Amino acid sequence: MQIRFASANDADAIARLHVQSWQQTYRGTLSDHYLDELALAERSLIWQQRFSAPAINQRVWVACDDKQLLGFCCLYLAKDAQWGSYLDNLHVAAGAQGLGLGRRLMATAASGVQEEYANQGLYLYCNESNTSGQYFYQRLGGQVCGSEIWHAPDGSAVKALRYAWASATELIK
């Protein structure tokens, strides 16, 4: 398995994995109609836009084996003066979970922060209903530092916990 920078050629596979992850994790949090009928088109458009006109601080990595995309993460460097760089997405295919891939993607993103913004922190949001994600981030040393309401694409309001690391180097191991 390799981790590499993503390209526009990866956009469709990223969108599919993004939706599969949401279907697995957010069933009961987001509407079934959105997850089953609308999410793929909406996420495909989002990822096509992100690759066709990327923000200057956007970095996307994918984890692949010879056959398929197994995971990805999307980072926005120096997004917030207080919290640092923002990890906007981290998703691992169901069949690849528990193999350390999420940890490797987090370390890759943290290395990206360290290379470009040494000593800066890193943060992300994890929906309150995503208890397995919370456990994962806590095991990696993330601290809950507040919450916000995510206005999800299905129109619902979802409480999301902010997990933060004071320095990205905490995740590079």
Residue 24, φ and ψ in degrees, nearest 5? -75, -40
Tell how far CA 129 is from the center of its chain.
16
Percentage of the chain exceeding pLDDT 90: 95
Q: For the chain, what percent of residues have pLDDT higher than 70?
A: 100
Query: Per residue in 41-81, pLDDT tens?
Result: 999 999 999 999 999 999 999 999 988 999 999 999 999 99
Instruction: Report d(CA 37, CA 120) in Å as an integer.
Output: 39
When pLDDT is averaged across residues 17-45 and rounded to a whole number, the result is 97
**What SS3 class is residue 43?**
helix
- 136-167 per-position pLDDT tens digit: 999 999 999 999 999 999 999 999 999 999 99
Euclidean distance between CA atoms 108 and 62, whole angstroms: 10
pLDDT at 66: 84
**Which pLDDT score, from 0 to 100, does residue 67 have?**
84
How many structural domains comprise the chain? 1
pLDDT the model gives residue 170: 87
The DSSP-derived string for 79-132 is EETTTEEEEEEEEE-GGGTTSSHHHHHHHHHHHHHHHHSTT--EEEEEETT-HH
pLDDT bin (cut points 50, 70, 90) of residue 1 is confident
On whether the CB atoms of residues 14 and 83 are closer than 8 A, the answer is no
Does this model's pTM top 0.75? My answer is yes
CATH code of 111's domain = 3.40.630.30
- Split at pLDDT 50, 70, 90, the class of 12 is very high
- Distances, alpha carbon 129 to alpha carbons 24, 133, 161, in Å: 12, 9, 10
Return the pLDDT at 118.
86
Per-residue pLDDT at 101: 96
Range of the domain at 115: 2-171
Grade residue 119 by pLDDT with cuts at 50, 70 and 90: confident
